[in-house]
A and B are shown apart, each in its own frame.
Chain A
Amino acid sequence: MMRINFQQKLDELKERLLVMAGLVEQAIQRATEAYSTRDTELCELVKLSEPAINRMEREIDQAALDLLAMEQPMAVDLRFIIAVIRINADLERVGDQAVGIAGRVKDLGMFANLDIPVDIPKLASLSQAMVRKALQAFIEGDADLAQSVLTLDDQVDEMNREAFRSLGELIKTKPEMSSQALNALIISRNLERVGDHATNIAEDVIFWVRGADVRHGWAPEED
């Protein structure tokens, strides 16, 4: 007999996680937009979204814990709930990165006509695309789509490394720009972390759908 009530609860859990994902995506979007427009009001909005994201993280964790305790899920259902718990934690930390970026943008706002040798908007767009793709893979239960997110992470990492090199150079040659450069460096690092969390989310989708743990580049057949 199909466990209809249980399946409904799993669907509800998925919906709640997607609401959380919506808040987080909005926060990261606003933070990166604030960087491009130097809009400090947007930075405030990002900060204000943090308590709601944190509350949702706790609620989703509790709902997942209840399902584990009350329904004793097995196999694909068990993997789904474990994936939700992990994705939940990663989303919350993407939210933290957004708050971090917003804080740096507020500092940068004091400096006009910033000319730094790093394409932050491009890095932002790439890391956001990773999050979106990973979440789309979660919505559709599509392990292939999730797999494609993993390859994007290399690009984000490379861009972050390049930012590190060029901003380090800038600090040496134009010490008067150190403050801007450091803020940009931290933002670049924040965006690189967003990419890492998107990678984690994609790996969790693969774990849920295929039952394979691919974290840290590990392949099941190596065991």
Chain B
Amino acid sequence: MGVGIRVENLNAWYGPTHTLKDVSLHIPANRATALIGPSGCGKSTFVRCLNRMHETNPTARAEGTVMMGDLDIYKDAAPVEIRRRIGMVFQRPNPFPTMSIYDNVASGLKLNGFSKRRVLDEIVERSLKQAALWEEVKDDLKKKSGASLSGGQQQRLCIARALAVDPEVLLMDEPASALDPVSTSKIEDLIFQLKSQYTIVIVTHNMQQAARVAENTGFFLTGKLVEFAPTHKIFTMPSDKRTEDYITGRFG
């Protein structure tokens, strides 16, 4: 099951640049939460702070509190463990190109010490089914490489890979922006299904996508969280003029 995330006074820097300023919000469990805002507003930095990916950049640092359930992710656990529990899917599908479909999905498990063939088989099948890819690849699991799949299939493969290690939260950074409308629709359907089991945070430039998949939406601007509210409210009657100006295309 998914778990909620509570963020308090989160600040982040890249070198001297203060990219995230005093962000506080509560991401509810088993819901999809969308983050929107113009390029450079800090939304991607924010999600990278949630699973401590941000600190993989040597000039980057973050301060503040991020609680996943009762776990303080900056104090109580190692980054590797956090990244297992909070999976991430990126804008461009990034399957391991030389690995088979099967090995792509199993890679995280193997890194975590799983080696029993039967267990691996089961988890690979379950993950590919959850990612709505199983039917399309089940006959070629070990014959084809991840790179041989279409863009949309590759992205679902990456989702299956993220799900295989049994995370509680799934972060998606513009997961459909490089995909055609049909593949985008499949990813959105998938998000809908996955949120019964996982907490999902999706960064998107596509506001219709946010409106379609997310229960709550946050609007970021110049490193600050301007507004966080139920999605229907953000897109019909936002409280803040800046949110309204952005989503109606008056700037951004």
Contact = CB atoms under 8 A, between A and B. Distances in A.
Interface stretch (A20-28, A73-81, A113-121, A154-162): A73-81
Nearest to B211: A74
Contacts of B236: 74-75, 78-79, 211
Nearest to A211: B237
Interface stretch (B2-10, B52-60, B242-250): B242-250
A78 B252 contact: no
Interface residues of A, number: 13
B28 interface: no
Contacts of B244: 75-76
A3 interface: yes
Nearest to A73: B248
Contacts of A6: 249
Contacts of B250: 2-3
A72 B210 CA distance: 13
A73 B249 CA distance: 9
B237 A79 contact: yes
B238 to A, nearest CB: 6
Interface centre among B243, B248, B252 (most CB of A within 10 A): B248
Interface in A59-87: 72-79
Contacts of B13: none
B229 to A, nearest CB: 12
Interface residues of B, number: 14
Interface centre among A3, A74, A79 (most CB of B within 10 A): A74
A74 B248 contact: yes
9 contacts: A3-B249, A3-B250, A72-B208, A74-B235, A74-B236, A75-B238, A75-B248, A76-B248, A211-B237
Contacts of A74: 207, 235-236, 247-248
A2 B237 contact: no
A77 B248 contact: yes
A202 to B, nearest CB: 18
Interface string B203-225: 00001100000000000000000
Given A3-B249, A73-B248, A77-B248, 6 more contacts: A1-B252, A2-B250, A75-B237, A75-B248, A76-B244, A78-B236
Interface string A1-36: 111001000000000000000000000000000000
A211 B247 CA distance: 15
A75 B236 CA distance: 4
Contacts of A73: 248
Nearest to A4: B249
Interface centre among A72, A76, A211 (most CB of B within 10 A): A76
A49 to B, nearest CB: 36
A73 B252 CA distance: 15
A78 B244 CA distance: 11
B246 to A, nearest CB: 9
B131 to A, nearest CB: 28
B235 A2 contact: no
Contacts of B247: 74-75
Contacts of A75: 235-238, 243-244, 247-248
A211 B235 CA distance: 11
